[in-house]
Amino acid sequence: MTDTATVTKQEYQKNRDRLLDDQRGVTARISDACRLVGFGLLAVFYAIKTGDGAFATSVKADHRCLLMAMGAIGLLSIIMDYLQYMFGWVSIKDAKKSNDQLYDDDKFAHKARAFLFEAKQYVVLAGSMVLVWLVLVS
C-alpha cells in the first residue's frame, strides 16, 4: 500500500480515476439489485394478495400485517430508487450552473441523493427479512 505523499500527481489522478470508475460500477449494481428486490417484493405481495391457494389464503388470514409490510417496503424501495435518481439529476443540473462545475455538498438535492442511496439498501434488506419471516411463520 502506498502513501499519497509518495505518489506523483499523475499516479494519484490515475488511481483516483480507477476508484471512481469502480465506484460507478458498484453503485450501479447496488441500485439495480435494490430495484430488482423491490419489484420482487411487490410481485410476491401481489401474488399472495390475489392468490387463492392454501399458502396465500393462510398468509392473508394469519399474517396480514407482515404481508402488508412487505408490500409497503417493496413500494418504498422503488420510490426511494426513483427519488435518488431524480435528486441526482437536480444535483447535476445545479453543478452545471456553478462556476467550478462541481457538486455543492450543502445543497439539499445532493444530500438527499446520498441519503436515499444508502437508505434504500436498508429498506430492501428489511423487506427481504420480512419476506423470509413471512415464509418461516406460514
The tens digit of pLDDT for each residue in 64-85 reads 999 999 999 999 999 999 999 9
The mean of the pLDDT values for the chain is 94
The tens digit of pLDDT for each residue in 4-23 reads 568 899 999 999 889 989 99
Q: Angle CA(37)–CA(39)–CA(43) in degrees, nearest 5?
A: 110
Whether pLDDT at 36 is above 70 = yes
DSSP label of 132: H
Q: How far apart are CA 134 and CA 129, in angstroms?
A: 8
The tens digit of pLDDT for each residue in 93-121 reads 999 999 999 999 999 999 999 999 999 99
pLDDT given at position 4: 53
Whether the Cβ atoms of residue 103 and residue 56 lie closer than 8 Å to each other = no
In the chain, domain spans? 7-137
